[in-house]
């Protein structure tokens, strides 16, 4: 009876193209058209500034709680930039930057965190699923979408996002396992931001990397510098092409850092040091990319200033428009009965009428 | 018309719907090559192939979670959970997503999936193979909860469930699977979800049941006629949610007396909802307190004692007579 080593022909790659100061590794530099590079930068910047604006709005009580993306712009915008419009994106709840890249409006996102049912409406023709709050559960929806694509013979891809914490959930396992067995065209993007509220990455798993978990499911896994948009874009492009051409799923671990709070209800000083946050500030994805663009002659200080102004105006307009809309919608509480079923059953019609009468009576007594 | 068992009738419905609509796919543990542990999906894989009759890994949450994705993509997945006692491993996918996707996306996406599972006792099975937890699903806004009682209703309701645009939980009373045969028409037959059936007319008392409890309830009704000269009306609920209030509320306005029968535990069970609605809609017509003849609020015992636990003809009769003599 032998007792010998099973030789598994597997490996996990690590990819980084821009160093921490934004200097490019010329051997690895991808050939991305200038317009696309500018677009990547614009959306990262928009994501950052929109995030900062939302945090202020929340602190002022103008919207409810949300999950900021600060520091994670490259690990979500790089991957979705590899998708086609008719592909599908299945987010968790910290992907505002990716959602905007994929055609969702800032107004829609503000309305969601403003607490309105109507925010769920997706703009026509956008293949994004809504925000999924229970951690890791959305992974399976992407796998089901992928199964549908394969079944129908569509050359599409489903990309789903989740965090390091989600890799401890059962649905992460079930999803990757199912995708591996059925070779569904799915790209699993893990934004390893090091913290699941107060639990550090090291407490989620004893695995050295999250990417290596892919090997057990029979799919390629790659770890990338999640604060390097060239690396996230390249890794995702390879994974999307593989999935589209029938090569099955991939797990991408984007190593990044949540520089802000988990959600606005969280106080990170209870569990992590300022020094750690400062270290990651030095590896800011936007600053690094700006250095690269400047080196390539694609961005000047003046252009940056103009772009920032343009973005701030867009955000201001979106906030103004949304606040107006929230005022208009404030009196439309009856929508809570909408879209429960294709057709409202009799007992729900009764309950809806009960609320309508209550609201009418209130209106009467107020008037 | 052919005489079929419930298993055959369900199998017939699946064959027919899959022939008719290539968006219908079946998935679950052992549903393909094995034809399902109760053989409900027998033969489907031979006719429709393994892409449409999917033998999944052993993962309940994945069966439901991927069904949600497939349904959003335009398929009509019919998932099978091998026993309802294992459906809790997928409960969060039903409660958090299947039930909410239409609402969350404001009608942009919907989840036309069916999740079939055998439920309830009576087949001398292991732990986790005999309980009745329909209340969990009936309590979840956004889901529909259907329980047929015989071969013909099973076939017709499964057809409706597959064609329904919303997620339907479809409980199959496993003790009825092969208990008897009924005429089932070859041509497609459906029944509207959310509609109960008066299966026996009578003016003295209303007996309300569903699933495996329908047969003993009908037997009790016959004994009431034979032994007591009492005419019992029997209502088969068929859909637990949305519950068809009108049919039983009207019946009780006529009879003034009611008994609700189910295997599920009594407290917070479907019977509690039926009684509440009767109190709301038919209170002034009641001649006597309403009785609940149900499972006890305990874990269904190991099978040596399950027949003692399960409501049967005698217990239903006792409940009915108590109401009649009140």
User: How does pLDDT run across A186-207, given as a tens digit for each residue?
Assistant: 999 999 999 999 999 999 999 9
User: Could you give the residue ranges of the DSSP H alpha helices within B164-238?
Assistant: 214-223
A90 contacts A132 by C-beta, under 8 angstroms: yes
Size of interface A-B (CB pairs under 8 A): 142
A137: nearest CB among B93, B108, B110: B93
Interchain pair A347, B245: CB under 8 A = yes
B3 touches chain A (CB under 8 A): no
Chain B residues within an 8 Å CB radius of A175 = 62, 65-66
A255 contacts A192 by C-beta, under 8 angstroms: yes
pLDDT of residue B318: 98
How far off is chain B from A175, nearest CA to CA, in Å? 6
Cβ-based neighbours of B199, under 8 Å, separated by 6 or more: B214, B218, B234, B235, B236
**Which stretches of chain A sit within 8 Å of chain B by CB?**
90, 117-118, 120-122, 129-130, 132-134, 137-149, 151-152, 158, 170-171, 174-175, 177-178, 181-182, 338-342, 345-348
Give A295's strand partners. Answer: none
Which tens digits make up the pLDDT trace of B148-191? 999 999 999 999 999 999 999 999 999 999 999 999 999 999 99
A339: nearest CB among B64, B103, B144: B103
Distance in angstroms (rounded) separating the CA atoms of residues A210 and B278: 56
Q: At what angle do helices A285-295 and A229-244 cross, to 10 degrees?
A: 90
Which tens digits make up the pLDDT trace of B15-37? 999 999 999 999 999 999 999 99
What beta strand segments (E) does B74-113 contain?
76-80
B130 contacts B120 by C-beta, under 8 angstroms: yes
A148: nearest CB among B64, B69, B243: B69
Question: Which residue from B236, B208, B202, B237 is spatially nearest to B222, judged by alpha carbons?
Answer: B202
Residue whose tokens read 């306005």: B253
Interchain pair A348, B242: CB under 8 A = yes
A7 within a domain of the structure (yes/no): no
At residue B204, the 3 state secondary structure works out as coil
Residue extents of the structural domains in chain B = 2-184, 197-325
Please tell me whether residues A38 and A56 are part of one structural domain.
yes
A127 contacts A86 by C-beta, under 8 angstroms: yes
A84 catalytic per annotation:
no
User: Could you give the residue ranges of the DSSP H alpha helices within A103-251?
Assistant: 106-113, 139-152, 170-182, 201-204, 213-216, 229-244
Catalytic residue among A10, A56, A151, A271: A271
- Establish whether domains B2-184 and B197-325 are of one fold: yes
- Give the Cβ contact number of residue B142 at 10 Å: 21
Catalytic residue among A102, A201, A242, A258: A258
B92 catalytic per annotation:
no
Whether the pLDDT of residue B206 is over 80: the answer is yes
Q: For residue B242, say if its preceding peptide bond is cis, omega within 30 degrees of 0.
A: yes
Residue stretches of chain A with pLDDT short of 50: none
A271 catalytic per annotation:
yes
What Rg do the C-alpha atoms of chain A give, in angstroms?
Answer: 22
Residue whose tokens read 């058209």: A33
Interchain pair B141, A147: CB under 8 A = no
Distance in angstroms (rounded) separating the CA atoms of residues A237 and A88: 14
Cβ-based neighbours of B41, under 8 Å, separated by 6 or more: B11, B14, B26, B28, B31, B32, B35, B53, B80
A93 contacts A162 by C-beta, under 8 angstroms: no
Distance in angstroms (rounded) separating the CA atoms of residues A299 and B240: 64
Residue whose tokens read 């317009």: A35
Distance in angstroms (rounded) separating the CA atoms of residues A82 and A91: 15
Chain A residues within an 8 Å CB radius of B145 = none
What Rg do the C-alpha atoms of chain B give, in angstroms?
Answer: 19
pLDDT of residue B25: 98
Q: At what angle do helices A229-244 and A34-59 cross, to 10 degrees?
A: 110
B105: nearest CB among A122, A149, A342: A122
When scoring A138, A178, A182, A217 by the number of chain B Cβ atoms within 10 A, the one with the most, hence best to mutate, is: A178
C-alpha dist (Å) from residue B290 to B235, B252, B294: 15, 10, 13
A207 contacts A248 by C-beta, under 8 angstroms: no
Q: Give the mean pLDDT of B135-153.
A: 98
Q: What is the largest CA-CA distance in chain B?
A: 60
C-alpha dist (Å) from residue A10 to A214, A232, A248: 10, 21, 16
Angle at CA of residue A298, ends A297 and A304, nearest 5°: 115
B68: nearest CB among A144, A158, A177: A144
Chain B residues within an 8 Å CB radius of A122 = 105, 108-109
B50 touches chain A (CB under 8 A): no
User: Could you give the residue ranges of the DSSP H alpha helices within B203-262?
Assistant: 214-223, 245-255
Please tell me whether residues A320 and A340 are part of one structural domain.
no
Give B262's strand partners. Answer: B294
pLDDT of residue A9: 79
Which bin fits A48, alpha (ψ -120 to 50), beta or left (φ > 0)? alpha
Q: Please classify residue A337 by burial: count the beta carbons closer than 10 Å to its beta carbon, then call 0-12 exposed, 13-18 middle and 19+ buried.
A: middle
Interchain pair B69, A175: CB under 8 A = no
Question: Which residue from B17, B26, B121 is spatially nearest to B80, judged by alpha carbons?
Answer: B26
Nearest chain A residue to B107, by CA? A339
Question: Which residue from B133, B188, B246, B263 is spatially nearest to B16, judged by alpha carbons?
Answer: B188
A3 within a domain of the structure (yes/no): no
Interchain pair A145, B103: CB under 8 A = no
Strand ordering across the sheet containing B205-209: B197-200, B232-236, B205-209, B258-265, B291-295
Using CA atoms of B11, B13, B14, B19 in order, give the dihedral in degrees to the nearest 10: 130
B61: nearest CB among A118, A170, A181: A170
How far off is chain B from A238, nearest CA to CA, in Å? 24
Please tell me whether residues A84 and A62 are part of one structural domain.
yes
At residue B281, the 3 state secondary structure works out as helix
Interchain pair A144, B72: CB under 8 A = yes
Both tokens of residue A150? 């394969």
Domain count for chain A: 2
Distance in angstroms (rounded) separating the CA atoms of residues B86 and B89: 6
When scoring B24, B71, B73, B169 by the number of chain A Cβ atoms within 10 A, the one with the most, hence best to mutate, is: B73
C-alpha dist (Å) from residue B62 to A213, B69, B87: 18, 10, 11
- Give the B window 106-145 contacts with A, CB below 8 Å: 106-110, 141-142, 144
Please tell me whether residues A248 and A359 are part of one structural domain.
no
Report the sign of the C-alpha dihedral through residues A107, A111, A112, A117, in that order: negative
Distance in angstroms (rounded) separating the CA atoms of residues A48 and A77: 11
How far off is chain B from A16, nearest CA to CA, in Å? 33
A40 contacts A289 by C-beta, under 8 angstroms: yes
Report, at the CATH architecture level, how domain B197-325 is classified. Answer: 3-Layer(aba) Sandwich (3.40)
Please tell me whether residues A286 and A347 are part of one structural domain.
no
B43 touches chain A (CB under 8 A): no
Show the domain range for A255: 13-329
Q: Which is it for strands B168-173 and B239-241: parallel, antiparallel or unpaired?
A: unpaired
Distance in angstroms (rounded) separating the CA atoms of residues B207 and A216: 55
Catalytic residue among A53, A156, A259, A262: A262
Distance in angstroms (rounded) separating the CA atoms of residues A50 and A91: 18
Helix, strand, coil: what percent of chain A each, to 5? 50, 10, 40
pLDDT of residue A367: 56
Chain A residues within an 8 Å CB radius of B107 = 121, 338-339
- Give the Cβ contact number of residue A188 at 10 Å: 30
Please tell me whether residues A341 and A209 are part of one structural domain.
no
Fold annotation for B2-184? Rossmann fold (3.40.50)
Residue whose tokens read 């199959």: B172
Distance in angstroms (rounded) separating the CA atoms of residues B176 and A365: 57
Catalytic residue among B12, B97, B129, B262: B129
Residue B43: half-sphere exposure toward Cβ, Cα within 13 Å: 12
B56: nearest CB among A130, A171, A178: A178
Residue B166: half-sphere exposure toward Cβ, Cα within 13 Å: 23
């Amino acid at each position: 009876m032998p007792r010998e080593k099973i030789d598994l022909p597997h490996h996990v790659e690590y990819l980084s193209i821009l160093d921490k100061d934004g200097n490019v590794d010329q051997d690895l530099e991808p050939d991305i058209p200038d317009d696309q590079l500018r677009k990547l930068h614009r959306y990262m910047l928009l994501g950052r500034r929109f995030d900062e604006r939302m945090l202020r709005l929340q602190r002022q009580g103008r919207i409810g709680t949300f999950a900021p993306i600060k520091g994670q712009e490259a690990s979500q915008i790089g991957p979705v930039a590899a998708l086609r419009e008719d592909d599908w994106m299945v987010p968790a709840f910290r992907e505002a930057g990716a959602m905007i890249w994929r055609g969702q409006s800032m107004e829609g996102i503000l309305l969601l965190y403003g607490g309105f049912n109507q925010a769920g409406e997706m703009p026509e023709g956008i293949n994004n699923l809504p925000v999924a709050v229970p951690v890791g559960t959305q992974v399976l929806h992407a796998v089901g979408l992928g199964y549908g694509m394969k079944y129908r013979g569509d050359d599409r891809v489903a990309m789903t996002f989740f965090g390091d914490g989600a890799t401890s959930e059962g649905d992460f396992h079930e999803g990757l396992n199912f995708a591996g067995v059925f070779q569904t065209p799915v790209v699993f993007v893990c934004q390893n931001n090091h913290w699941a509220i107060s639990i550090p990455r090291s407490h989620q798993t004893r695995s050295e990397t999250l990417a290596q978990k892919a090997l057990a499911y029979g799919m390629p896994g790659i770890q990338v510098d999640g604060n390097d948009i060239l690396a996230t874009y390249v890794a995702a492009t390879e994974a999307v092409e593989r999935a589209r051409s029938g090569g099955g799923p991939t797990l991408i671990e984007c190593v990044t850092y949540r520089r802000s709070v988990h959600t606005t209800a969280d106080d990170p000083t209870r569990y992590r040091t300022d020094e750690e946050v400062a270290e990651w500030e030095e590896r800011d994805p936007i600053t690094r990319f700006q250095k690269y663009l400047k080196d390539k002659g694609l961005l000047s200080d003046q252009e940056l200033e103009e772009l920032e102004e343009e973005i701030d105006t867009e955000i201001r307009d979106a906030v103004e428009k949304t606040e107006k809309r929230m005022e208009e919608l404030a009196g439309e509480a009856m929508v809570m009965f909408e879209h429960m079923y294709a057709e409202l059953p009799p007992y729900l019609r009764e309950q809806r009428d009960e609320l309508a009468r209550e609201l009418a009576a209130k209106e009467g007594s107020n008037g | 018309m052919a005489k079929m068992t419930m298993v055959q009738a369900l199998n017939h419905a699946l064959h027919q719907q899959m022939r008719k609509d290539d968006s219908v796919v079946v998935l679950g543990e052992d549903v393909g090559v094995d034809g399902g542990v109760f053989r409900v999906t027998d033969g489907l894989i031979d006719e429709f192939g393994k892409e449409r009759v999917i033998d999944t890994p052993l993962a309940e949450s994945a069966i439901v979670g991927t069904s949600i994705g497939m349904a959003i993509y335009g398929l009509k997945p019919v998932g099978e959970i091998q026993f309802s006692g294992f459906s809790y491993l997928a409960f969060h996918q039903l409660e958090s997503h299947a039930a909410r996707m239409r609402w969350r996306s404001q009608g942009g996406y919907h989840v036309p999936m069916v999740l079939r599972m055998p439920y309830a006792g009576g087949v001398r099975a292991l732990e986790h193979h005999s309980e009745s937890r329909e209340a969990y699903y009936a309590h979840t806004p956004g889901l529909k909860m259907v329980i047929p009682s015989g071969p013909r209703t099973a076939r017709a309701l499964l057809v409706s469930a597959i064609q329904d645009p919303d997620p339907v939980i479809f409980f199959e009373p496993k003790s009825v699977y092969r208990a008897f045969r009924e005429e089932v028409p070859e041509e497609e037959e459906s029944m509207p979800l959310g509609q109960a059936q008066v299966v026996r007319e009578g003016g003295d008392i209303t007996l309300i049941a569903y699933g495996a409890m329908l047969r003993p309830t009908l037997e009790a009704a016959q004994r009431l006629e034979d032994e007591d000269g009492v005419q019992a009306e029997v209502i088969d609920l068929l859909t637990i949610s949305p519950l068809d209030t009108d049919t039983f509320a009207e019946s009780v306005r006529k009879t003034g007396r009611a008994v609700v029968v189910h295997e599920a535990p009594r407290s917070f069970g479907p019977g509690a909802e039926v009684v509440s609605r009767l109190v709301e809609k038919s209170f002034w017509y009641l001649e006597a307190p309403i009785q609940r003849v149900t499972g006890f609020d305990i874990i269904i015992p190991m099978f040596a004692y399950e027949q003692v636990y399960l409501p049967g003809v005698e217990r239903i009769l006792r409940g009915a007579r108590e109401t009649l003599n009140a």
